[in-house]
A = this chain, B = another copy of it.
Amino acid sequence: MTNAQVPSSEAADERILVAAGKLFREKGFAATTVREIAQAASMLPGSLHYRYASKDDVLVALMERGVRRAIAAVTKGIAATRDPVERLKLGLRAHLELLCQGDDSLYVLLYDFRSLPEGAREGVERSRGRYEAFWDGMLYEAWGTGRSRSALDLDLVRQFGMGAINWVATWYRPGSGRTPAQIADAFWTYLAFGLMGEASRPADVESQFQELLTKSGEE
């Protein structure tokens, strides 16, 4: 605007993604207008078209960014310790903080997946798979310490934990009780130690988990 040089280039791309993220999160992809995005990004529809050939392209770019940001945030979060189990806790916290307080790209990635055009789905899916593989790696390392139960389907465990955490975005409102970090820590404790009291644990808990592991192919 007022500054010189290339006033936007990258900054304009950024403004578009930020504006689109906010709108997609609030109203969903299909309900958001290209004109709305442009206006929120302080530009005209034509300018937006110059940078992204289509509305779909904006969505894809935003989602790809969501993956990158999530990996970056979690990577940074877990760097504080070398203990694989503790890393899971920190990773959960970083993920939830990004989802609730960070930018909207992760939210859109998670909650507007249905809006992806057929053609772009595969690419985004692969990116998303990278993030999941990233968590699987952390889970595997934690499992390798021997401190967790031995009979665990780590894939299912990941879906379990990510589900609980991701769902927070549907009900969390800033400034109402707990912070995302507190919620993540509470969920971590639930995950790790369970909700049943120590006294009322049956003796064969471990074998129950073993059963869960084998009972997976039958219909």
- For A10, the chain B residues whose CB sits under 8 A away are none
> In the assembly, how many copies of this chain are there?
2
Is B148's CB under 8 angstroms from A197's CB? yes
Q: How far is the CA of A86 from the CA of B188 in the complex (A)?
A: 24
Which residues of B sit under 8 angstroms from A4, Cβ to Cβ? none
Q: Quick one: which of B29, B162, B166, B192 contacts A194, CB cutoff 8 A?
A: B192
- Among B26, B146, B149, B165, which residue has its beta carbon within 8 angstroms of that of A195? B149
- Chain A contact patch, size range: 35 or more
Say yes or no: A194 contacts B191, CB within 8 Å: yes
Distance to closest chain B CB from A160 (angstroms) = 5
A216 touches B177 (CB 8 A): yes
CA distance A147 to B198 in the complex (A): 9
A167 close to B170 (CB less than 8 A): no
* Docked complex: A177-207 residues within 8 A CB-CB of B: 177-179, 182-183, 185-187, 189-201, 205-206
Further 13 A-B residue pairs, CB within 8 A, beyond A148-B196, A164-B167, A193-B208: A30-B30, A150-B197, A152-B195, A160-B190, A162-B167, A163-B163, A166-B167, A177-B217, A178-B215, A182-B218, A186-B212, A192-B194, A198-B201
A-side interface residues toward B, CB under 8 Å?
Answer: 26-31, 85, 110-111, 113-115, 146-150, 152-153, 156-157, 159-168, 170-171, 175, 177-179, 182-183, 185-187, 189-201, 205-206, 208-209, 212, 215-219
